[in-house]
Chains A and B, each alone.
Chain A
């Protein structure tokens, strides 16, 4: 095997292990520095290294009573920090391995030093563990040894070996060589941080779906003992009260989404009739002010609702002043017509805004079509119906299909702020239900199951909508 080929082969484990080590830094479950039960369960190795305050947040009493020495925790903190820095150096080395001889050489040096430092720092964690284990109060301090320690140590040792091997394989570059890397890899490396961010915040949560198969309460650790298979899925159909809740929630969700879809033509009508207004100043005025509500949050919409519809709000005080009512009414505390009210609030907030896209669409319709229609003797409404509406239909279809695909996702803000004891049965939509059950009541597995089913159904619906669009219009919507 030629030297160059060998170099490239050895670089594969080099890159894979660097990436794995880097990812491990972010996983609290794989935190080898969690040597005591007092260390927060959600502390990753990265946090252990970079945030001493977070690390010792529960140690106040242990320090005071002398169960754990403060120097132990300092040792742990510094060791973790060095491991983190070492691993980051390895990752940088792996990035540089995509470049020319000089890049590779520098990267190899970095990763050699980094992996040796990290491997030696593992000793710091090792000895910190034995200091913690020697505590006088094991029941409180809960010393624990992470078995993952050995795996991580093995990975670091492999990393040291591979790095040193690469140092010899690549060798020292010529003196006048410059740092160079092919354009395609340079661009990729610039993109890499954003890929990692997207992975951590969009893909990694999918890993949380495993909670659906465990008996889990907030703060527990997952172990195979608590694996329950499809128990929570079965509970959705077997447990009477859960089933009743789900049916009610689905009824509300579909009803409110359905009302939204049934009124989805309104922004189009709004735009068409607005364009019939010849006075451009008035048109501008209407457009400006009907768009404002879209930019305030649902909490503020509720504040608005509160100032208009509560017991001492606008309607009540006006009616009392006029002598129609003897005392104020609180419209917000009533359970009647909840679906319609929510629809109206949605329209109040969104109608003007949703119309903008159609207004833009109308200005894009060929004026000759109108002129031709006028010559043919078409009246105002005929022109609207036979020229404007067909011109806007493509946009309407896309938005309609998107709305159908999102039928289960009403969002939760609106319903959360308007919810109260008297309308809770009518207002509880799927998103709000999952929040209440998971975050407020702490039934994490069950709410994960519901959320999971919702996600799967939504993606399926989107796929179906996309396929339909492709079949009918020959264009995809996503």
Chain B
């Protein structure tokens, strides 16, 4: 099932909903009760999902003294943005931000290009040993050696404590390759490739001028999943970068801050070794607000891209389901 078909079906269902809705103008009492309960439950769950983000946010922009006393519960008071400015003083945070940004951009770019190219190659029936090599890739989704052999392997390859450990292993992503392959097979007419190759276009040229532009929707989808994955990555930083704190990702940094600064007095005595500079502490900020602000900074990029990307998120899961 292609995306356009799915979208069409959704639109159709929507229209029929509307039609049905109009024809049933009069509601029975039992329907009213059902609707009230249904709306309430969904509204409640939605609030549970978004309130924490709101709470986090108002606590980072409200007056720090009020926050410390726990008086900011629903409404921000004494709004200021100094906490965000002060984050620049927090050691290592900026570096981690850069590392995470770099890996998100570079890692996603390489993964998308590789998935597109490999996805295209495995649709080519003439390839020597095509089905064998395709299976060779796909089967890796269903087993893994385990975290310790994985770590030892990375150490053996000399990738531990290097930036490339974030990028290279992620280039070949079997699931995304399947998505691209399915998309090319279902949404790009084979005649297009055939006529191009009759005109003498090479495989690379066909890939670059036909496949890549035409598979933009699916590439956008895997790009977004890939980027979110890179942004959220934590485990590889935790395990592979043990002696390279400069390469910690933002999530790893946040994890460290959340744990080391759990009480202010411990932070004070530990001084700058805990990762937060003295000047921040001297300004009577409490540890709580710093943590909230760092968390907020880590969440914001995702919240910002989310509305634009939502439709791709949904497409992604549906194409996956069709494959299933």
* Nearest CB in chain B: distance from A375 CB, A: 13
Q: Which of A201, A277, A286, A447 is most buried by chain B, counting CB atoms within 10 A of its CB? A: A201
Residues of B within 8 A of A477 (CB): 324
Listed A/B pairs (21) with beta-carbon separation below 8 Å = A28-B156, A44-B157, A46-B158, A184-B128, A187-B203, A190-B204, A191-B133, A198-B174, A203-B140, A205-B152, A206-B145, A208-B148, A273-B41, A277-B38, A277-B42, A278-B17, A278-B21, A285-B46, A360-B317, A380-B31, A395-B324
* Nearest CB in chain B: distance from A457 CB, A: 11
* Nearest CB in chain A: distance from B141 CB, A: 8
Whether B140 lies near A282 (C-beta < 8 A) is: no
Q: Which one of B80-88, B212-220, B250-258, B276-284 contacts A?
A: B250-258
Whether A187 lies near B258 (C-beta < 8 A) is: no
Flag A280-313 by CB within 8 Å of B: 1 or 0 each.
Answer: 1010011011111101111110111011100010
Interface residue B303 (Cβ < 8 Å from any Cβ of A): yes
* Nearest CB in chain A: distance from B47 CB, A: 9
Interface residue B198 (Cβ < 8 Å from any Cβ of A): no
- Known contacts: A380-B31, A478-B142. The answer to whether A289 contacts B49 by CB under 8 A is yes
Residues of A within 8 A of B114 (CB): 194
- Known contacts: A299-B234, A413-B235. The answer to whether A195 contacts B149 by CB under 8 A is no
* Nearest CB in chain B: distance from A244 CB, A: 21
- Which DSSP category, helix, strand, loop or mixed, fits chain B's interface? helix
- When the two chains form the complex, which single residue of B145, B251, B310 contacts A209, counting CB atoms closer than 8 Å? B145
Cα distance, A40 to B187, chains bound together (Å) = 51
Cα distance, A134 to B142, chains bound together (Å) = 52
Interface residue A185 (Cβ < 8 Å from any Cβ of B): yes
Interface residue A464 (Cβ < 8 Å from any Cβ of B): no
List residues of B whose CB falls within 8 A of some A CB: 6, 9-10, 13-14, 16-17, 21, 31, 34-35, 38-39, 41-43, 45-46, 48-50, 52-53, 55-56, 59, 68, 70-71, 73, 114, 117-118, 121-122, 124, 126-130, 133, 136-137, 140, 142-153, 155-158, 160, 168-169, 171-172, 174, 203-204, 228, 231-235, 238-239, 251-252, 254-255, 258, 288, 291-292, 295, 298-299, 302-303, 306-307, 310, 313-314, 317-318, 321, 324
Residues of B within 8 A of A398 (CB): 324
- Known contacts: A291-B310, A357-B321, A380-B34. The answer to whether A318 contacts B73 by CB under 8 A is yes
Interface residue A42 (Cβ < 8 Å from any Cβ of B): yes
A: number of interface residues (CB 8 Å): 105
Whether A413 lies near B234 (C-beta < 8 A) is: yes
* Nearest CB in chain A: distance from B264 CB, A: 10
Which residue from chain B places its CB closest to the CB of A189 in the assembled complex?
B128
Whether B239 lies near A435 (C-beta < 8 A) is: yes
- Which DSSP category, helix, strand, loop or mixed, fits chain A's interface? helix
Interface residues of A in 312-339 (CB under 8 A from B): 312, 314, 316-318, 320-321, 328
Whether A201 lies near B172 (C-beta < 8 A) is: yes
Cα distance, A395 to B156, chains bound together (Å) = 41
Residues of A within 8 A of B157 (CB): 26, 28, 42, 44, 200
* Nearest CB in chain A: distance from B121 CB, A: 5
- When the two chains form the complex, which single residue of B43, B45, B288 contacts A312, counting CB atoms closer than 8 Å? B288
Interface residue A125 (Cβ < 8 Å from any Cβ of B): no
Whether A455 lies near B128 (C-beta < 8 A) is: no
Whether B70 lies near A317 (C-beta < 8 A) is: yes
Cα distance, A184 to B128, chains bound together (Å) = 5
Whether A197 lies near B172 (C-beta < 8 A) is: yes
* Nearest CB in chain A: distance from B134 CB, A: 9
* Nearest CB in chain A: distance from B299 CB, A: 6
Whether A299 lies near B254 (C-beta < 8 A) is: yes
- When the two chains form the complex, which single residue of B146, B233, B234, B238 contacts A448, counting CB atoms closer than 8 Å? B146
Cα distance, A198 to B146, chains bound together (Å) = 16
Flag A1-44 by CB within 8 Å of B: 1 or 0 each.
Answer: 00000000000000000000000001111000000000010111
Interface residue A260 (Cβ < 8 Å from any Cβ of B): no
Cα distance, A71 to B80, chains bound together (Å) = 60
Cα distance, A128 to B45, chains bound together (Å) = 69
Whether B13 lies near A367 (C-beta < 8 A) is: yes
Whether B140 lies near A451 (C-beta < 8 A) is: no
Which residue from chain B places its CB closest to the CB of A27 in the assembled complex?
B156
Which residue from chain A places its CB closest to the CB of B130 in the assembled complex?
A187
* Nearest CB in chain A: distance from B295 CB, A: 4
Residues of B within 8 A of A274 (CB): 42
Whether A364 lies near B9 (C-beta < 8 A) is: yes
Residues of B within 8 A of A183 (CB): 126, 203
- When the two chains form the complex, which single residue of A190, A211, A462 contacts B152, counting CB atoms closer than 8 Å? A211
Cα distance, A363 to B310, chains bound together (Å) = 18
Flag A204-228 by CB within 8 Å of B: 1 or 0 each.
Answer: 1111110100000000000000000
- What would 6 more interface pairs be, CB under 8 Å, given A191-B122, A299-B232? A44-B156, A191-B127, A273-B42, A288-B310, A321-B70, A451-B148
Cα distance, A203 to B314, chains bound together (Å) = 32
Residues of B within 8 A of A198 (CB): 136-137, 140, 172, 174
Whether B299 lies near A300 (C-beta < 8 A) is: yes
- When the two chains form the complex, which single residue of A44, A312, A364, A454 contacts B146, counting CB atoms closer than 8 Å? A454
Whether B295 lies near A451 (C-beta < 8 A) is: no
Interface residue A237 (Cβ < 8 Å from any Cβ of B): no
Whether B118 lies near A455 (C-beta < 8 A) is: no
Cα distance, A177 to B9, chains bound together (Å) = 55
- Known contacts: A194-B118, A289-B50, A297-B234. The answer to whether A317 contacts B73 by CB under 8 A is yes
- Known contacts: A308-B55, A356-B314. The answer to whether A300 contacts B295 by CB under 8 A is yes
- When the two chains form the complex, which single residue of A206, A276, A290, A297 contacts B232, counting CB atoms closer than 8 Å? A297
